């Protein structure tokens, strides 16, 4: 058995379908299906049964799930232990790009934290940062919630409302369905908010003309201002990236209307620095008690 096969198997069980497993692991559905077929062939047993529109584990599948969970946790522990730097107070932290704009004070304070932690910060999207965490290239990440494997410690930090923005030169849009047929701009197709956008399309019955990846928020906002397309962004970004007279905002409600961010790390007793940093960030974000 290979780790990738067990990872695919566990993801299907944890997230309920091959489709969701592929999204969470950032792999093609065909790759996930191939891993499962290979695993079933190796074990000479069927791991899943189809029931209606879903899938359920067979008895051997349930037995394997317990072993797979233990094996994957041990692998993560080994990666965390072997990738320890000589200085245990150093933390390699990955953060999603919008935090460098909306929460500069937090990131500046993380770097200059009073707890003696030496923090190196890298910027990326949720999927790439989690991949680097799995590979031992990072010690902790601050990313969109709901994507990290279950063997990592996940601490919820904040919840940001999302909104649709479009050029001030565009006629005002009063109905969500009117966004159908528009060009949609995204910062990255691998960002956590892509899941919100997919849900918005489904729940709002919206079919975009096309989706264009911009690669950065400054370029995305520039294109929105110039009327190239519309975008789903954290509301906190709007005031930071443009003037109020340059874009119009369509406020949203529903399950796709907010982005939760979490601190993710492997809680290893031999490597306390990531846990200490997580607690420090929580304390920093905690509202001050009324005096």
Q: Please write the tens of the pLDDT for every residue from 15-55.
A: 888 888 888 887 888 889 888 999 999 899 999 988 766 78
For the segment 192-207, the average pLDDT, to the nearest whole number, is 93
Please tell me the number of Cα atoms within 13 Å of 3 on its side-chain side. 11
Higher pLDDT, 193 or 27: 193
Domain that holds residue 105: 90-156+261-285
Q: How many other C-beta atoms lie within 10 A of the C-beta of residue 55?
A: 17
Q: Please write the tens of the pLDDT for every residue from 216-272.
A: 899 999 999 999 999 999 998 998 899 989 999 999 998 899 999 999 998 877 778
The radius of gyration of the chain from alpha carbons, rounded to an integer in Å, stands at 21
Taking 70 as the threshold, does the pLDDT of residue 289 lie above it? no
For the segment 4-23, the average pLDDT, to the nearest whole number, is 88
Query: Does residue 105 belong to any structural domain of this protein?
Result: yes
Domain boundary among 41, 63, 82: 82
Query: Does residue 290 belong to any structural domain of this protein?
Result: no
Mean pLDDT (the chain) is 88
Q: Is the pTM of this model over 0.95?
A: no
Residues 150 and 266 in one domain: yes
Residues 152 and 163 in one domain: no
Residues 195 and 224 in one domain: yes
CATH number of the domain at 133, please.
Answer: 3.40.190.10
At residue 287, the pLDDT reads: 59
Residues 128 and 212 in one domain: no
Count the domains in the chain.
3
Residues 142 and 279 in one domain: yes
CATH number of the domain at 27, please.
Answer: 1.10.10.10
The H-or-E segment that residue 159 falls in is strand 153-167
Residues 186 and 241 in one domain: yes
Residues 267 and 150 in one domain: yes
How do 153-167 and 258-265 pair as beta strands? Answer: antiparallel
At residue 197, the pLDDT reads: 94
At residue 291, the pLDDT reads: 44
Domain boundary among 37, 60, 82: 82
Higher pLDDT, 126 or 77: 126
Taking 90 as the threshold, does the pLDDT of residue 273 lie above it? no
At residue 76, the pLDDT reads: 84
Give residue 87's pLDDT band: very low, low, confident or very high (50, 70, 90): very low
The H-or-E segment that residue 166 falls in is strand 153-167
CA 288 to chain centre: 28
At residue 165, the pLDDT reads: 96
**CA–CA dist 166, 231 (Å, integer):** 7
Domain boundary among 82, 111, 143: 82
Query: Does residue 291 belong to any structural domain of this protein?
Result: no
Residues 140 and 121 in one domain: yes
């Amino acid at each position: 058995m290979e780790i990738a096969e067990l990872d695919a198997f566990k993801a299907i069980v944890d997230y309920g379908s091959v489709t969701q497993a592929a999204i969470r692991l950032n792999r093609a559905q065909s790759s996930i299906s191939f891993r499962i077929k290979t695993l079933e062939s190796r074990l000479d047993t069927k791991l899943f049964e189809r029931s209606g529109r879903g899938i359920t584990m067979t008895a051997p599948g349930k037995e394997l799930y317990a072993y797979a969970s233990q094996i994957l946790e041990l692998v993560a522990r080994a990666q965390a232990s072997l990738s320890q730097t000589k200085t245990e107070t150093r933390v390699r932290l990955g953060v999603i790009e919008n935090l460098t704009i909306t929460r500069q004070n937090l990131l500046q304070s993380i770097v200059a934290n009073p707890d003696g932690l030496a923090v190196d910060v890298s910027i990326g999207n949720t999927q790439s940062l989690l991949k680097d965490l799995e590979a031992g290239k990072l010690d902790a990440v601050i990313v969109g919630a709901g994507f990290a494997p279950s063997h990592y410690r996940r601490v919820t930090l904040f919840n940001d409302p999302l909104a649709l923005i479009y050029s001030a030169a565009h006629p005002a849009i009063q109905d969500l369905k009117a966004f159908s047929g528009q060009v949609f701009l995204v910062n990255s197709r691998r960002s956590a908010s892509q899941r919100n956008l997919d849900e918005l399309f489904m729940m709002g019955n919206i079919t975009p003309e096309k989706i264009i990846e911009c690669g950065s928020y400054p370029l995305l906002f520039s294109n929105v201002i110039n009327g190239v397309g519309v975008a789903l962004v954290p509301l906190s970004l709007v005031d930071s990236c443009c003037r109020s007279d340059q874009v119009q905002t369509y406020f949203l409600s529903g399950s796709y209307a907010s982005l939760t961010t979490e601190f993710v790390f492997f809680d290893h007793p031999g490597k306390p620095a990531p846990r200490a940093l997580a607690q420090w960030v929580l304390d920093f974000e905690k509202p001050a008690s009324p005096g």
